[in-house]
Structures are given as C-alpha cells and as structure tokens.
Amino acid sequence: MRFAAITIKDIAKALGLSTSTVSRALRDSYEISPETKEKVLAYAEKFNYRPNPAALGLKERRTRSIGVIVSEIDNTFFSEAINGMESIAFDRGYTVIITQTHESFQRELANLRYLSSRSIDGLLVSLSSETNDIPHLNKIHQQGLPLVFFDRISDEIKTHKVIADNFKGAYDVTKHLIDSGHKRIAHLANVSYLSITIERLKGFEKALSDHGIKIPASYIQYCSHGGLMEEEIDKALDAFFASKIKPEAIFTAGEKLTIGCLRLLKKRGIKVPEDIAMVGFSNAKLLDLFDPPLTIVKQPAFEMGQIATEMLLNLIESRRPVTEFEKRVLPTQMTIRDSSL
C-alpha cells in the first residue's frame, strides 16, 4: 500500500465541512467558531495532518529548504559540518537536503540539477576534487540562487565563504615536526588545484623555508581523488621511498589520505613513529585510538557548518540585494600525540 498524506480535502470530507472552512480553522481564523476549530484540529492531530511544503512554497515563493553538496558524508569533517548546518537550519524552520559527489565532477553536476529541481532556497557547496571550473555554479548563481562556499571554495563567484585557517594549521604541524628533529618531511596532498590543497601546501612550504629546509620535488605528491583510491596513495608512497634520501616524516593533508596512508604503511611493514613520523589533517576521533595515537590538525567543522548556514539564510531572507560579502577564516587546532615524537 502506498502511503498518502492526509489533505485539507480529506479532513473536509470526513467532517462534512467545506475545504475553505477547514483551511480557515487550521489558520485559527476568527471567522470560524471555537467548536468547529476544535473539531478540525482534533481530527488533524489524530491523523497527523501537516501542511503541504510544496503548496506553502508556492504561496510564499519559498520552499524553506536548502541544498548541501559535499564530497562524502563518510568523512568526519563533513558529517560534523552537516550537524552544524542542521542545528541552525532546524531552528529557523528550514529543511536540509544533503547530496554527495564522491569526488566526482559529474556527480556534482547531477546533484546540482536534482537540488535545482527541488526548488531549494539556497545552496551550501564544498567542491569535489574533480571540479576545476564552476560554470554550472556560476549559471545558477547568476539566475538568483543564493550560494555559500565552505571548506573547498572558489573565488570565481562573489559570495560568502567559510574556511579553516589551512595555512596556519599546516605551518604549525610542519614546524612541530621540525622542532621534533625531523628535517626530511614528505607531503601527501589532495589534487593540486583545490583551494585546501593550495593553502595547506603554502603553509607546509613556508615552515620549511623559515627553517632553511629544502626537500626533493618527489617529497610532494598529489592524489586526485583525495584518498578515495588507495592505489593513488600507494603510488605516492612509492615516490617518497624511491628517493635516494628517504623521508623521516609524512604530513598528510586530508582525513582519507591520513587513514589510507597509515593503512598502507602498516601493510609495507613501516612502523610509526619508529621508522617514520606522521601527522595529518583529520577530525576523526578514532585516530586517538591508533597505536600510536596520531598527531592531528583538526578543523572547527561544526562551527563552519553553523556559520555557513547563518550566512546563507541571511542571504535568502534579505529584503535587499546583498553586495558586501565576507570570507570567514576559523582557527584550526593541533593535537600532538606519539606519532610525531
């Protein structure tokens, strides 16, 4: 049996009333007697009547729903960010529709088409690792859809953006490795053109430069799928260890890269930190249960989700065109554990 939600027509038919009487009773109109209101509301409550969001959307010219595009929910950073988004959206009467790209540009396009077809009021976007150009987002933004970037951003669209301080996070954790006596540090990164890759690489290189350290070109390797394909990480490790002078430490710039690297080092029989030190960007709580526990840089994901959503809802509900936009940069947090000592 197919579920069918109860409608105003169903209530009217059951109670022998007109649909207009039922509608006014549900709106608590003074035109309807208290007895009729009580009868209508009791029936609506008994059969779990809820206003049709599509009908309300037509009336208000809003659906009170926002779309979210992320690479993967099975990533602690994005799951925490989504929790932050929903905490704000729910309090302000909005529904959140979440889609995943799995680092695919084509999936990003398909998700955007789907969300557009649902007549969302606005969009929160973190770009996929395959997205190097954004005409699809430019087009929908130019058509009037409010849009806010978070984490993986583009400067092609003039709108609000929320990011972590990737430069400082990478700088601090690289400096920690150097202060711990490690000079030959390799860097495992996401695809080269992604905003988070660029910011973290700059922080890594600045820390090396400030300490007069030069590394071989082979010590910087990119994974175009952000760690979703372990063979890319394996190939990067081959490049690291093929160098005449082997690295003493590895800095991984993403959660999937971090976990995948740890797994493959173990498979190769390379022990952390006895054979090589390791640090990484990650919000995964399970990493403090590893042996040894991993030194990490954590992003304020929940707060980023909250702030991005506040910004988006303010754009949606603004009665005047918004021309001034903000780029919020939130601090990261380094937690030092045994993997880097």
| d(C-alpha 162, C-alpha 140), whole Å | 20
pLDDT at 61: 58
| d(C-alpha 269, C-alpha 95), whole Å | 48
pLDDT at 144: 92
Question: Do 143 and 34 belong together in one domain?
Answer: no
Residues in contact with 320: Cβ distance below 8 Å, sequence separation at least 6, in sequence order: none
Asked, for residue 313, whether it belongs to a domain, the answer is yes
Determine contact, residues 306/84, Cβ cutoff 8 Å: yes
Asked, for residue 223, whether it belongs to a domain, the answer is yes
Question: Do 292 and 311 belong together in one domain?
Answer: no
| d(C-alpha 338, C-alpha 161), whole Å | 35
Question: Do 184 and 257 belong together in one domain?
Answer: yes
Using CA of residue 310, residue 316, residue 317, residue 323, what is the dihedral sign? positive
Question: Do 290 and 233 belong together in one domain?
Answer: yes
Maximum distance among all alpha carbons in the chain? 89
Total-model pTM: 0.83
What is the residue-wise DSSP string for 131-199?
----HHHHHHHHTT--EEEESS--SSS-S-EEEE-HHHHHHHHHHHHHHTT---EEEEES-TTSHHHHH
Asked, for residue 203, whether it belongs to a domain, the answer is yes
Residue 162 phi, psi dihedral angles, 5° rounding: -130, 125
Question: Do 186 and 277 belong together in one domain?
Answer: yes
pLDDT at 4: 57
The tokens of 148 are what? 């806010």
Asked, for residue 57, whether it belongs to a domain, the answer is no
Question: Do 90 and 157 belong together in one domain?
Answer: yes
Number of domains, the chain: 3
Query: Could you tell me the CATH number of the domain that includes residue 316?
Result: 3.40.50.2300
Asked, for residue 94, whether it belongs to a domain, the answer is yes
Question: Do 196 and 257 belong together in one domain?
Answer: yes
What is the residue-wise DSSP string for 246-265?
--SEEEE-SHHHHHHHHHHH
| d(C-alpha 286, C-alpha 265), whole Å | 18
Residues in contact with 170: Cβ distance below 8 Å, sequence separation at least 6, in sequence order: 199, 200, 201, 202, 203, 204, 207, 251, 253, 281, 297
Per-residue pLDDT of the chain (341 residues; tens, 9 = 90+): 344 567 888 888 889 988 888 888 887 778 889 888 888 888 888 887 766 655 544 445 568 999 999 999 999 999 999 999 999 999 999 999 999 999 999 999 999 999 988 889 999 999 999 999 999 999 999 999 999 999 999 999 999 999 999 999 999 999 999 999 999 999 999 999 999 999 999 999 999 999 999 999 999 999 999 888 999 999 999 999 998 899 999 999 999 999 999 999 999 999 999 999 999 999 998 777 778 899 999 999 999 999 999 999 999 999 888 999 999 999 999 999 999 98
pLDDT at 1: 39
Question: Do 131 and 172 belong together in one domain?
Answer: no
Domain limits at 114? 62-163+301-330
Question: Do 178 and 244 belong together in one domain?
Answer: yes
Determine contact, residues 202/232, Cβ cutoff 8 Å: no
Question: Do 136 and 285 belong together in one domain?
Answer: no
Question: Do 134 and 85 belong together in one domain?
Answer: yes
Asked, for residue 43, whether it belongs to a domain, the answer is yes
Asked, for residue 2, whether it belongs to a domain, the answer is no
Asked, for residue 3, whether it belongs to a domain, the answer is no
Nearest to 99 by CA among 87, 89, 109, 91: 109
Side-by-side strand order, sheet with 277-281: 220-222, 185-189, 249-252, 277-281, 295-298, 333-335
- As beta bridge partners, residue 148 has 124
| d(C-alpha 124, C-alpha 40), whole Å | 39
For residue 245, with 0-12 CB atoms within 10 Å meaning exposed, 13-18 middle and 19 or more buried, which class applies? exposed
Question: Do 237 and 171 belong together in one domain?
Answer: yes
Query: Could you tell me the CATH number of the domain that includes residue 42?
Result: 1.10.260.40
| d(C-alpha 244, C-alpha 277), whole Å | 18
